[in-house]
Amino acid sequence: MPAASGPGSPHASERPVSDRAGPHVLRDGLRVLGVAVRAEPRVFAVSVTASALYAAMTVATAQVLGQVTEDVVLPAFRSGHTTAGALAGAAAAIVGVALLKALGVAGRRFYAGLMQYRMQASYRRAVTRQYLRLPLAWHHRHPTGQLLSNANADVEAVWAPIAPLPMAVGVVFMLLIAAVSIVVTDLAVAAVGFLIFPAVALVNVVYQRRLSPVATRAQQLRAEVSEVAHESFEGGLVVKTLGREGAETERFAERARALRDANVAVGRIRGLFDPVLEALPNLGVLAVLLIGSVRMESGAMTAGDLVHVAYLFTLLAWPIRALGWVLAETPRSVVGWERVRGVLDATGSLPFGDGVLDEDKAAALEVRDVRFAYEGADEAEDRPVLHDVSFTAEPGRTVALVGPTGSGKSTLTSLLVRLVDPADGSVLLDGVDVRDVRRGGVAATAALVPQQTFLFDDTVRGNVTLGLDVPDERVWEALSLAQAEGFVAALPEGLDTRVGERGATLSGGQRQRLALARALVRRPRLLVLDDATSSVDPQVEARILQGLREAQSADGEGGATVVVVAYRKATIALADEVVYLENGRVTARGTHAELLRESEGYRNLVNAYERAEAEQEAVEGGEEALA
C-alpha cells in the first residue's frame, strides 16, 4: 500500500480536532443551517408551520385537560353522575386537539425529510460535478476513499440537523406559549417551576462542550476508515500476492477500533447527560405539584389549574431534548461542511474556449515545446517529466512513442487527450490549441486506451458503448477491429454477457481488447494507445495494428491518426514515424530503420526488448514441451 495513504498520512480529514471543537461550533452550525433555509425557503416554512401547529396543539392539550378536569371530571365526582353531552363535548375537544397535533407531526416530518433529502441530493450532485470538473492532477492528491466519504458520509453529516430543525423551532414556540400560559395561570407556581430552566441550560452547555470534540473526532474517523477500506479492496491483488493480509487487516482494524472508541465515547457522554436532562424537568414537576397543592388548599388556584400547569411542565423535558438533537448533530455538520466545501472550493479546473475541431477527417496533431512537471516536483532543479517536447503527426499517420521507463511517454499521452495541461508549450489539434477548444470537443475527437484497463461490472455491450447510442453492428465492427469479435461471440450471452467487477471473468488480453473496442466504437479522429496491447500476444497485436492501418487507408480522409506507445520491434515497425524520448526529451525522430542506424540509445533499447521477449518465449516453449 502507498505510504501516503497509511494511517499517519496528513489528509484533510485528519486536521486537528481543536480546529473545530471551539466555542464557534454552534455559530458555524447555524450558518450551515442557514444555507439550507435559503436554498429551500418554502419547504422550511411549511415544516416550521406544521411544527408550530403541533406545538400549539400540545399546549392546547394541557388547556383542554385542565378544562375537562375542572368542568367535567370534578363535577362528576361531586355529584356522582354526568351527562352524555358533557362526555361527548370533552371527547370531541380531546380528539380534535389530537387530530390537529397529528396533522402537525405528519407535516413536520414529511417536509423536514423532504428538505433534508433535497439538500443531500443537491450537494451530492454538486460534489460529483466538481470531481468531473477538477483536473486529473487534483485527483492524484486525494485518495479515492476520502472522495467517496466527501460525497456520501460528509454530505449526510452536513444536513443531518435538518430533520430535527423544524421540531426545534416549533418547540421554541411551544416553550413560549407554555411559559405564558403557566404565568397567566399562577405566577407563584411559575416562579418555582422556572427555576429549573437555568439548571437545564447549564447542563446543555456542559453537554455540548463535552460532546463537540468527541463527535468531531468520530466524523473524521469515519472518513479514515472509508479510505483504508477502499484502498485495501482496490489493492486486493497486491495484498494477497505479497502475503500482506494480516498487516492490511491490522491497519484497517486500527482505524476501526479508533472509530469504535470514538463512537463509544459519544454514547457514553449522551448516556450520562440524557438522564440528567430527563430528570431536571421532572424535578420541576414535583416542585410544581408540591407548591400547587399548597396553593390549591389555600384557594389560590383550582385543581384544573394545577393539572394544566403540571402537564405543561411534564412537556418541558421533550422540547429541551429536541433542541439537544440539533445541537448534538452540529459538530458533525460543521466538520462535514468544511470537508464538502474543501471540494467545492477547490481550484484548478481546466479552462475551455470556443474552438471547434474538424469532424470530417483524421486529426492533425502538433506538440509544440511542451514542458510538464507533476505538482511537488523540484522546479529549482529543473526536473520536469517532459522538457521541450515537439513533434507532429500528420492526419491518418501512425506515430510510435518509444523510450525507456520514466522517459515521460504515459505523461505525454495524458497531455494529448487533455487530461492535464502542460506548464509551457501547447498541444494542437487541427491547428487549434486544446485549451481553446470548447468543452467536450477534445473528448469527441480523441480517445485514449491507457495501460491499466478498467471494465465495469456490466455487460460487454455496456462496457464498449458506455451509454453511447450505437447499433450492435457498429459494436461488432469495433470488436472485430480490436480482435475481440471471436471471444465475445463465444461468451454464453454474447454482447449481453456480464464481465464481472473490473472484468474479473476475462483474461488480461481480453480486457485490453474490450478497452480498445470501447475507444474504436466512438470512431475517434485521434487514437492514443498507451501500451494498450501489452497483454496480447504479438500475432494478435500485429493483426490489431494492421487492421487499424487498413481502416485508415479504406477511409478516404485517413480514418484516425494513431499515436502508440510501443515496445515490440514488430509494433514499432508498423509506424510511419518513431519519436524516441529519453529523460523527458525527444532525442531522435524518424522511421524505425532510420533510428536503428542513427540512434544508439534507441537501437540498444528495442534490441533489449526483443531479446527479453525471445527469452520469455523460449521459456514458455520449454514449459509447454515438458508438459
CA distance 339 to 13: 7
Closest CA to 578 of 386, 371, 403: 403
In a domain, 538, yes or no: yes
Task: Please indicate, yes or no, if residue 589 is contained in any of the structural domains.
Answer: yes
Q: What is the pLDDT at residue 423?
A: 81
Domain assignment of residue 219, yes or no? yes
Q: Which three cell numbers stand for residue 33?
A: 443551517
Cα first-last separation, the chain:
37
Q: Are residues 431 and 569 in the same domain?
A: yes
Residues 372 and 518 in one domain: yes
Q: Are residues 340 and 442 in the same domain?
A: no
Cell of 459: 455487460
| Sign of the torsion angle spanned by Cα atoms 24, 25, 26, 29 | positive
Residue percentage of the chain with pLDDT more than 90? 0
Torsion of Cα atoms, 164 then 169 then 172 then 174, to 10°:
-90
Q: What gap in Å lies between CA 108 and CA 110, rounded to an integer?
A: 6
Residue 331 belongs to a domain? yes
- In the numeric block, the cell 492524484 is attached to 140
- Contact between residue 564 and residue 578 where contact means Cβ atoms under 8 Å apart: no
| Residue 350 per-residue DSSP state | P
**156 in any annotated domain:** yes
CB atoms within 10 A of CB 269: 18
317-344 vs 245-297: helix crossing angle, rounded to 10: 150
Residue 433 φ then ψ, to 5°: -60, 130
Confidence of residue 315 (pLDDT cuts 50, 70, 90): low
> Of the ranges 104-118, 185-199, 417-431, 594-608, which one carries the lowest mean pLDDT score?
185-199
CA distances from 93 to 82, 137, 307 (A): 17, 68, 16
336, 442: one domain: no
Residue 145 reports pLDDT greater than 80: no
Domain check: are 117 and 181 in the same one? Answer: yes
Q: Does the pLDDT at position 365 exceed 50?
A: yes
598 with 590: CB under 8 angstroms?
yes
| 357 domain residue, yes or no | no
Handedness of CA 481, 485, 486, 487 (dihedral sign): positive
The domain that contains 101 carries what CATH number? Answer: 1.20.1560.10
Cβ partners under 8 Å of residue 490, min gap 6: none
Whether residues 621 and 523 share a domain: the answer is yes
Which stretches of 247-384 are assigned E, i.e. beta strand?
365-372
Q: What's the order of all strands across the beta sheet hosting 526-530?
A: 446-449, 526-530, 561-565, 398-402, 577-582, 585-590
| CATH number of the domain within which 602 lies | 3.40.50.300
* Same domain for 388 and 245: no
Are residues 235 and 378 located together in one domain of the fold? no
Instruction: Report residue 133's pLDDT band, with 50, 70 and 90 as the boundaries.
Output: confident
- The secondary structure of residue 385, as a DSSP letter, is S
Which helix (H) or strand (E) element contains residue 425?
strand 424-429
Domain for residue 567, yes or no? yes
Residue 460: per-residue pLDDT: 80
Q: Considering the domain boundaries, does residue 580 fall inside one?
A: yes
Reading the block at residue 207, the C-alpha cell is: 453537554
Distance, in Å, from the CA atom of 87 to the CA atom of 80, rounded to the nearest integer, reads 14
Torsion sign over Cα 492, 495, 496, 500: positive
Burial class of 468 by CB neighbour count within 10 A (0 to 12, 13 to 18, 19+): exposed
Please indicate, yes or no, whether residues 488 and 595 belong to a single structural domain of this protein: yes
Per-residue confidence (pLDDT) for residue 612, from 0 to 100? 57
**Range of the structural domain that residue 69 is part of:** 30-344
Closest CA to 340 of 30, 38, 124: 124
pLDDT more than 70, % of the chain:
79
Number of compact structural domains in the chain: 2
Both 565 and 619 in one domain: the answer is: yes
On whether both 309 and 374 belong to a single domain, the answer is no
- Closest by CA to 422, choosing from 390, 452, 380, 378, is 390
Q: Is residue 226 over pLDDT 70?
A: yes
Instruction: Name the DSSP class of 526.
Output: E
Mean pLDDT along residues 160-170? 79
3-state secondary structure of 535: coil
Strands of 432-433's sheet in order across: 386-393, 365-372, 424-429, 432-433
10-64 tens-digit pLDDT:
343 333 333 444 446 677 777 888 888 888 889 988 988 888 888 778 777 777 7
Do 144 and 222 belong to one domain? yes
Highest mean pLDDT out of 69-83, 266-280, 341-355, 391-405: 391-405
